[in-house]
Structure 1
Amino acid sequence: MDGRGWNTWGEGAAFGLQHGMAVIPYALLKYYRKLNLSGDEAMLLIHLLSFRQVEGIEFPSLEDLQTVTGRSISVIAGELQKLMKEGFISIDGTNDELRDFHYEQYNFTGLFNKLGAVLAEAAQEAAEGRTAGANHSGHASTRIAASPAATVSVEAESRNLFSIFEKEFGRPLSPMECETISGWVDQDRYPEELILLALKESVFAGKVHFRYIDRILLEWSRNRVKNAQDVKNYNQKFRNGGR
């Protein structure tokens, strides 16, 4: 295939992408763990939504789902049962009287209701955090002074980590980056104060990326650094050559 042929192929692929995209709620990507969903279960919901939107299939078969997930039918069936039992999805039966035909379709009302509740909870927590910060004027906040946008406070525990990181990075976070932050909090159990201090360190070092921040947190964890005073002592010890 010559250069023109590859260009034509690329244009065709681009056309297909434009006309074959599914709209996935960002809240599902961001909060699925808060809903006690595994990554596979969240991906199964995404596939169900995609089948409806892109292919017009309201009730994909287990074989259809096996093809796109690469997992066994028994595993998929178990996950569907869990999603229905916990109210994320339900099955509606509909009769087409004109064609004398009965068909079934997945109903996502439960999923959307749960996502709405999570979004409301997050908004309430953010509002309460701002109120607490405004009423806590008797204490000075520690802020990054490396740039005009570097205004991270490491004091208020209820700060929205996602919005703080987005402000420092100067762009929206990707789902993978949000997942990384959630992992620091939920799995590694790093205090929010420590995460913000690691972000501060990365800004001062001019290395504002997640891998560098993760290395800082891991190093601190290995050295039992748990708060701002520990960070100060650790940095002092490091500057003195470990003495």
Structure 2
Amino acid sequence: MDSKGWNTWGEGVSFGLDNGMAIIPYALLKNYRKLNLSGSETLLLIHLLSFRQVEGIEFPSLEELQAVTGRSIPVIAGELQKLMKDGFISIDGDNDELRDMHYERYNFSGLYGKLGSYLATQAKTAEQEGTQGNGSKSSVSRVTDNRFGGSPPNGGTGKGLSDPEEASRSLFSIFEKEFGRPLSPMECETISGWLDQDRYPEELILLALKESVFAGKLHFRYIDRILLEWSRNRVKNAQDVKAYSQKFRGGGK
């Protein structure tokens, strides 16, 4: 890349950083499904947190939320009501007597309380089972070893991919491990869309990730193309992947 290209890239990074960064609880990304949150509800929470942290907007309008999510106002309003009903967020009011104005802001104490309670329960369970210190970590390592160790999925058996509970718990962490960095909110939204909108099995998503690793094309667009191709050919699990691959290659071993 020439110096002009590097300057352009650097200016782009600088512009992006100048626009601010939001701090999102990793526990939310990792455990949102355990809290019975959908991917779209989680993304909405992320946007609410981002509005507060980056733009200083504590009570974004439905129109502002529509602009960043691309979803209809009735759908957003329904999800906000559900989040409030389930105790993840609440609305605090305040009055500015000098300006004679009423302010409202979202309160996230419910979300943090639920996350803290869930994590405390998990830690207590691990301690009772005598696995404190290596329980959740070894679980992720074991899943990663089973899924990304050994031969490529084309010749694999899919062993270690049959536990949806374990897969759900470690899906985001496996992606971050393979990419070697934290996932962006957009990448988290992509994974959530595969799960909640496209209804791809977690097993299939991880097989597609494994395919991209072995192909040396580790980016979300390539993984999405793999999933779309499999979907069009009714590939739904590890056995289907193996059969499809053998058929595509002319009935190899």
Q: How high is the TM-score relative to the length of structure 2?
A: 0.56
* Partner residue, 2:92: 91
Distance in 1 (alpha carbons) for counterparts of 2:140 and 2:47: 39
* Partner residue, 1:155: 160
Is 2:184 the counterpart of 1:171? no
**What is the CA-CA distance between 1:237 and the residue it aligns to?**
1.0
* Partner residue, 1:35: 37
Bigger Cα displacement from structure 2, 22-31 vs 86-95? 22-31
Contact kept, 8 Å, 1:92 with 1:105, in 2: the verdict is yes
Is 2:56 the counterpart of 1:46? no
Distance in 2 (alpha carbons) for counterparts of 1:44 and 1:203: 30
AA in 2 matched with 1:42: L
Contact kept, 8 Å, 2:235 with 2:241, in 1: the verdict is yes
Distance in 2 (alpha carbons) for counterparts of 1:117 and 1:223: 43
Contact kept, 8 Å, 1:202 with 1:212, in 2: the verdict is yes
* Partner residue, 1:65: 61
* Partner residue, 2:4: none
Is 2:118 the counterpart of 1:112? no
Is 2:204 the counterpart of 1:203? no
Contact kept, 8 Å, 1:193 with 1:227, in 2: the verdict is yes
Question: Residue 90 of structure 1: SS of its match in structure 2?
Answer: strand
Residues 169-204 of structure 1: CA deviation (Å, up to 9, x unaligned): 222222221222222222222222222221222122
Q: How high is the TM-score relative to the length of structure 1?
A: 0.58
**What is the CA-CA distance between 1:238 and the residue it aligns to?**
0.9
Distance in 2 (alpha carbons) for counterparts of 1:155 and 1:195: 14
1:217-228 correspondence runs (5 A):
217-228=227-238
**Cα gap change, 1:227/1:89 in structure 2, threshold over 3 Å: closer, same or farther?**
same
Question: Residue 91 of structure 1: SS of its match in structure 2?
Answer: strand
Residues 109-158 of structure 1: CA deviation (Å, up to 9, x unaligned): 22332444566688889946945997x9xxx9454458xxxxxx851431
Q: What RMSD in Å do the two structures reach over aligned CA positions?
A: 4.8
AA in 2 matched with 1:226: K
Contact kept, 8 Å, 1:92 with 1:104, in 2: the verdict is yes
Percent identity, aligned pairs only, is 53
Aligned residues: 206
Contact kept, 8 Å, 1:89 with 1:111, in 2: the verdict is no
Structure with bigger gyration radius: 1
Contact kept, 8 Å, 2:94 with 2:104, in 1: the verdict is yes
Distance in 2 (alpha carbons) for counterparts of 1:219 and 1:154: 22
Bigger Cα displacement from structure 2, 230-239 vs 78-87? 78-87
**What is the CA-CA distance between 1:86 and the residue it aligns to?**
4.2
Contact kept, 8 Å, 1:154 with 1:196, in 2: the verdict is no
Distance in 2 (alpha carbons) for counterparts of 1:186 and 1:120: 27
Unaligned runs of 5+ in 2: 1-10, 68-72, 127-133, 152-157
Bigger Cα displacement from structure 2, 30-39 vs 161-170? 30-39
